[in-house]
Amino acid sequence: MGYDYNTQRKRMALPEYGRNVQKMVDHIKTIEDRGERNRAARTIIQIMGNLNPHLRDEGDFKHKLWDHLALIANFDLDIDSPYPTPEREKLIEKPKQIPYKQGDIRYLHYGRIIELMIDAACELEEGGEKEYLTTLIVNQMKKAYITWNRSQVADEVIIGDLKMLSGGRLKITEGVKILEVKELLPQPRKKQQQGKSHGKQQNKQFIRKKVHNRH
């Protein structure tokens, strides 16, 4: 008696659609009549859409299904697709390497983004826009500090770090308020036990009334 194991079957390009869809796609390759082959392809597209309803939330839902059909067919399906067939070479092409700025980050808890924001703010002319951006940067620095260190931090420490990172080019305008910790981080929700306590009190009153009525 022979057994049919998945490990012995043809490898599927997109396993999420299942073995039956793969078999249907393989079958329509053998249909000689082009019109019938096109109708069968549209039927498979509907089945694929039903198997992956989460794709409906995407704007190019139909386009993606037809691309998947071509991929399942190993780009060997002669049909009249409403969309251009994707190129095999682009799918196997290695992504371009993203350049990453070299150099050490002076304060890891602030990160590279804060340093880039400070550099951008330093290039601005003196005025309201520069002051506003500097205030945003300081509050973000404080938020990053307490997120990674899980401790309170004096505003003077943050201002000192800003001065060091900017080379003294950024200053906090007098009168500017740095946000408190509770304003920067979401506070944990308190458990709502009031409703439960209220329910217990009502039950006790009901029991007392019931006992009183018996007497």
pLDDT higher at 153 or 194: 153
Concatenating the DSSP letter of every residue in 63-96 gives HHHHHHHHHHTTT------SSPPPPHHHHHSPPP
Whether pLDDT at 210 is above 90: no
Cα distance between residue 169 and residue 166, in whole Å: 5
Pull the structure tokens for residue 103.
């150099």
pLDDT in tens, 3-57: 555 555 667 778 888 889 999 999 999 999 999 999 999 999 999 988 888 777 6
Give dist(CA 186, CA 147) in Å, integer: 11
> pLDDT of 67-87, one tens digit each?
999 999 989 889 999 998 888
- For residues 126 and 122, what is the distance between their CA atoms, to the nearest angstrom? 9
Most confident among 137-146, 168-177, 183-192, 195-204 (mean pLDDT): 137-146
CA pseudo-torsion sign 113, 115, 120, 124: positive
